[in-house]
Amino acid sequence: MDAIQEQFAQRLEERGISVSSMLDQFESYYRELVSWNEKMNLTGITDREQVYTKHFYDSLSLAFFVDMTAIDRMADIGSGAGFPGIPLKIAFPHIQLTIVDSLSKRISFLQHVCDELKLEGVELIHGRAEDIARQAPHRDQYDLVTARAVARMALLNEFCLPFVRKDGIFAAMKGSDPMEEISESKFSLKELRGQLEKVESFSLPVEDSDRHIVIIRKTGATPVKYPRKAGIPAKTPLL
């Protein structure tokens, strides 16, 4: 354990999350991320300390506000390079994780990471969220659904809420203050049977940049007409 890992583990320990026994997995993840990033665009952040802070710590921040020990099935929509799903799976290995991403190259990278880190109970799906959410194994099935820096709330609600089971949680991970987005997404929330529960905020260590997590509770089954066909939500969000 070097200084960067020690600081990473200590900061999480202060939040009640122990990752000391998983640091080798995080380091392998970092190495594979940087290596594959030379061949394909996975992230603009490659500095080791920044990856640990802006990707790993930031991903695990969801566990500050959601009891991950109570989560069995989790879906990460538009996961990109695996954030927040893979760090959360490393820290909470009991979770059955499904990752949906529309780019096959990213799914190939994530499969490689799961193999390298020997992660079990991870399902990687190449496809559009609107299509996958209409499939019975995924519709209204997940305890927790996440999306990190994917789109505005009105669009995210249609991408993500159809995956969430009744009484489950959708957690949208945001940077700047999301209150304007939340205000414009009231119609989509109502349509998709979501109810705003709370908005948590904190600052990333070192640089003090703002982070917000919008937590939405699913109140009922997804109406039959949602999500609309792939591409339509992005062109005409529910406003």
Q: Model confidence over 217-232: pLDDT tens digits?
A: 999 999 999 999 999 9
Angstrom distance (rounded) from CA 63 to CA 171: 11
Q: What angle do CA 89, 72, 188 make, to 5 degrees?
A: 95
- pLDDT exceeds cutoff 90 at 13: yes
Q: What percent of the chain has pLDDT over 70?
A: 100
> What's the whole-model pTM score?
0.96
**16-52 per-position pLDDT tens digit:** 999 999 999 999 999 999 999 999 999 999 999 999 9
**Domain architecture of the chain: domains with CATH:** 3-224 (3.40.50.150)
